Amino acid sequence: MIAEIISTGDEIRSGALVDSNSAHIAQKLEETGLEVVRHTCVGDDPDMLEAVFREIGGRSDIAVVTGGLGPTTDDLTAQAAANAAGVSLAVDNTALSSVEAFFKQRNFSMSPSNKKQAMLPEGADCLYNPVGSAPGFVLKIGNCQFFFVPGVPFEMRKMISDSVLPRIEKLQGGNRNFCMVKTISTFGLTESATGERLAGLTEEFPGIRLGLRAKFPEIQVKLYANGEDEDTLGELIENAAKRVLQKTGKKAFSSDGTPMEAVVGDLLNKKNATLAVAESCTGGLISHWMTNVAGSSDYFLFSGVTYSNDAKINVLGVSPDTLRQYGAVHEETAKEMAEGARRVAGAVYGLSTSGIAGPGGGTDEKPVGTVCIGLAAPEGVKGLRFNFSFGRRAMNKTIFAMTALDFLRRELLVS
């Protein structure tokens, strides 16, 4: 069965609000095995709403509509649905008692405009709203079952799970289809290089769909599979995932959506090791990421965001001679920063960045996008230099921080 999603309202149509409802509904519908083929958004315009309902009523099996069920004059969905189905609006007793109960329970007084919310198209089946004043409803328009729910995200979510999905599963009878997704996160390959490494994958694993998503600075490899037997699908997708991991090697850092900072944190935890960081060009982003992980205080001890040379000398003990001889952006300086952070905090590992995020500060020898990374470990200290040219300051900070964490991740994997 194919499904469509319709979001309504001038706020979304005009871009004042990002429509996150449709993504949620699409995920939930696809999990039941429905194929969501299209989303549509239109504003609070009764003719447009009616036309869209008729159009979709003529081509799909299931439609879920959000928004326009409130008490105000720009809430026009019920009337437009009635028009599209060729019926009238009438007071629905289930809907009326649901609205009345909502207000009574909260000791709110019910305004006349709330009564409007109990007017549903004739023949509609009321959907109870346990968390808001607007009831939803189910109505057949053309050959399509339409599910109307409010646009307020938490009301919509509750009604989708409590009322809409069970009814859809009933409509599907025994013919449930499963949809599985697996995400493998990689770092260090471009989108096209990733695609080339995975050439032939869908031929080798028939039934697998492959999607690549650039989620800067990662490239996510997504594997999708649909079918009726959950076990067969699970095996198929796991085998395909193994092949993706073989083909991407160390560029793959997680196969369940775990972000880089949690992968690094996990490796540190397993080794019972601790980390201190010295950041110049990344300006605190590495430590912000690392401390986003709950429980990171177990292994993350300290970061010195040393933007000035004085701070590098006073806090991290970088030698003024090194700074004079090589400058702030150099492997030697990065190595001393990493050693300094490690020593000051008494950590097992010290990781540092020094570079030029831009837009100013670049030279011919060290253009914007240059970053030096230092890694101090019990076995010794290493320094590396990279050059990226993404141009924008925020992107440079992000790729510098990711490169440093990836350097540490690979060290933790072999050490």
Q: Is the Cβ–Cβ distance between 317 and 311 less than 8 Å?
A: no
Return the residue of 107, 256, 364, 365 that touches a copy of itself, per CB under 8 A: 107
C-beta closer to a copy of itself: residue 23 or 125: 23
Instruction: Find the shortest distance in angstroms from Cβ 415 to a copy of itself.
Output: 23
Instruction: Find the shortest distance in angstroms from Cβ 192 to a copy of itself.
Output: 4
Distance between first and last Cα of the chain: 52
φ/ψ of residue 223, rounded to 5 = -110, 130
Candidate segments 135-143, 161-169, 291-299, 378-386, binder of a copy of itself by CB under 8 A: 291-299
- For residue 32, state whether it binds a copy of itself (rule: CB under 8 A): no
Q: Is the Cβ–Cβ distance between 77 and 50 less than 8 Å?
A: no
Rounded distance between C-alpha atoms, residue 86 and residue 160, angstroms: 26
Q: DSSP secondary structure string, 134-197?
A: --EEEEEETTEEEEEE-SSHHHHHHHIIIIIHHHHHHHHTT---EEEEEEEEE-SS-HHHHHHH
Q: Is the Cβ–Cβ distance between 253 and 409 less than 8 Å?
A: yes
- For residue 292, state whether it binds a copy of itself (rule: CB under 8 A): yes
Six-digit token string for 359: 């837009």
What are the CA-CA distances from residue 7 to residues 53, 126, 179 (Å)?
Answer: 11, 19, 23
Candidate segments 85-93, 140-148, 244-252, 281-289, binder of a copy of itself by CB under 8 A: 281-289
C-beta closer to a copy of itself: residue 27 or 232: 27
Instruction: Find the shortest distance in angstroms from Cβ 37 to a copy of itself.
Output: 7
Residues in region 201-260 near a copy of itself by CB under 8 A: 209-214, 216, 222, 224
Candidate segments 34-42, 82-90, 120-128, 234-242, binder of a copy of itself by CB under 8 A: 34-42
C-beta closer to a copy of itself: residue 172 or 202: 202
φ/ψ of residue 57, rounded to 5 = -60, -25
- For residue 30, state whether it binds a copy of itself (rule: CB under 8 A): yes
Six-digit token string for 210: 């492959």
Residues in region 57-76 near a copy of itself by CB under 8 A: 70-74
Residues in region 77-106 near a copy of itself by CB under 8 A: 105-106
Which candidate, 54, 118, 100, 107, places its Cα nearest to that of 80?
54
Instruction: Find the shortest distance in angstroms from Cβ 10 to a copy of itself.
Output: 6
- For residue 37, state whether it binds a copy of itself (rule: CB under 8 A): yes
Instruction: Find the shortest distance in angstroms from Cβ 72 to a copy of itself.
Output: 4
C-beta closer to a copy of itself: residue 74 or 235: 74
C-beta closer to a copy of itself: residue 40 or 94: 40
Rounded distance between C-alpha atoms, residue 351 and residue 373, angstroms: 7
Residues in region 307-366 near a copy of itself by CB under 8 A: 307-308, 310-311, 314-315, 344-346, 357-361
C-beta closer to a copy of itself: residue 17 or 138: 17
Residues in region 115-134 near a copy of itself by CB under 8 A: 131, 133
C-beta closer to a copy of itself: residue 123 or 207: 207
Which candidate, 185, 172, 201, 200, places its Cα nearest to that of 262?
185
Candidate segments 87-95, 140-148, 265-273, 296-304, binder of a copy of itself by CB under 8 A: 296-304
Which candidate, 166, 111, 94, 158, places its Cα nearest to that of 130?
158
φ/ψ of residue 205, rounded to 5 = -120, 80
User: Angle 164-168-174 (CA atoms, 0-180°, nearest 5)?
Assistant: 150
Instruction: Find the shortest distance in angstroms from Cβ 8 to a copy of itself.
Output: 11
Instruction: Find the shortest distance in angstroms from Cβ 26 to a copy of itself.
Output: 3
Regarding beta strands 275-279 and 252-254, do their DSSP bridges make them parallel or antiparallel, or are they unpaired? Answer: unpaired
C-beta closer to a copy of itself: residue 280 or 322: 280
Q: Is the Cβ–Cβ distance between 130 and 105 less than 8 Å?
A: no
What are the CA-CA distances from residue 399 to residues 107, 155, 216, 223, 281 (Å)?
Answer: 54, 39, 8, 25, 11
Residues in region 391-410 near a copy of itself by CB under 8 A: 391-395, 397
Binding mask 134-153 for a copy of itself (x = CB under 8 A): ------------------x-
Q: Report which DSSP code applies to 59.
A: T
Return the residue of 265, 304, 355, 374 that touches a copy of itself, per CB under 8 A: 304
